[in-house]
Amino acid sequence: MTENPAGDGTDSKRMLGRMGLSALALGAISAVGTKTAEAATAATYADADILNFALNLEYLEAEYYLRAVTGSGLTSSMTGVSSNQVIAPTTTLVPFQNTAIAYWAQRIANDELTHVNFLRLGLGSAAVPEPTIDLVNSFTTLAVAAGLIPAGQTFNPFESEINFLIGAYIFEDVGVTAYAGAANKLTMAANISYSASILAVEAEHAGCIRSYLAGQGGGKVTNAISALRQKLSGVTDKGTDLSGETPPGNPFNFANTDYNGQVYRRTPAEVLNVVFGKPGTGVTKGLFFPNGVSGYFATS
Partner 1 sequence: MLSNPFTKILQEGVDRRRFLRRAGGIGAATMLSGIAGNALTSTPARAASTLTDADIFNFALNFEYLGSQYYLAALGTSLPASLTGTNPGKVVKAANTAVPFTDSPTGYFAQQLANDEVGHVSVIREVLGSSAIAQPEIDLQNSWTSLAMAAGLIVPGQTFNPFASEIDFLLGAYVLEDVCVTALTGAAHLISSPTNLAYAASILGTEGYQVGMIRSQLSAYGAGSVTDAISNLRSKLTNAINPTAGVDDNGTDYTNTAGGRNPYNFTNVDVNAQAFRRTPQEVLAIAYGGGTTGGGFFPSGVNGTVKSA
Q: Enumerate residues 77-136 that contact partner 1 by CB under 8 A.
A: 96-100, 102-104, 106-115, 117-124, 126
Q: How far is CA 161 from the centre of its chain?
A: 19
Sequence-distant (≥ 6) Cβ neighbours of residue 157 within 8 angstroms: 64, 68, 135, 139, 163, 164, 166, 167, 168
Rounded-to-integer distance, Cα 237 and Cα 139, Å: 19
Q: Please list every residue from 258 through 297 that binds partner 1, using CB under 8 A.
A: 258-265
Under rule CB under 8 A, residue 253 binds partner 1: yes
* CB-nearer residue toward partner 1: 18 or 291: 18
Q: Among 82-90, 198-206, 270-278, 288-296, which window interacts with partner 1 (CB under 8 A)?
A: 198-206
Q: Are 159 and 91 in contact (CB under 8 A)?
A: no
Biggest distance spanned by C-alpha atoms of the chain: 59
Q: Among 13-21, 81-89, 134-142, 270-278, which window interacts with partner 1 (CB under 8 A)?
A: 13-21
CA distances 111 to 38, 89, 143, 275, 278, Å, are 31, 23, 26, 20, 28
Rounded-to-integer distance, Cα 227 and Cα 142, Å: 12
Q: Are 188 and 243 in contact (CB under 8 A)?
A: no
Under rule CB under 8 A, residue 176 binds partner 1: yes
What is the size of the binding site for partner 1 (CB under 8 A)? 115
Q: Are 258 and 14 in contact (CB under 8 A)?
A: no
Under rule CB under 8 A, residue 6 binds partner 1: yes
* CB-nearer residue toward partner 1: 4 or 82: 4
* CB-nearer residue toward partner 1: 73 or 131: 73
Q: How far is the CB of 193 from partner 1 (least distance, A)?
A: 5
Q: How many other β-carbons are positioned within 10 Å of the β-carbon of residue 106?
A: 15
Candidate list 141, 256, 273, 300; residue touching partner 1; CB under 8 A: 256
Candidate list 193, 220, 245, 247; residue touching partner 1; CB under 8 A: 193
Q: How far is the CB of 118 from partner 1 (least distance, A)?
A: 5
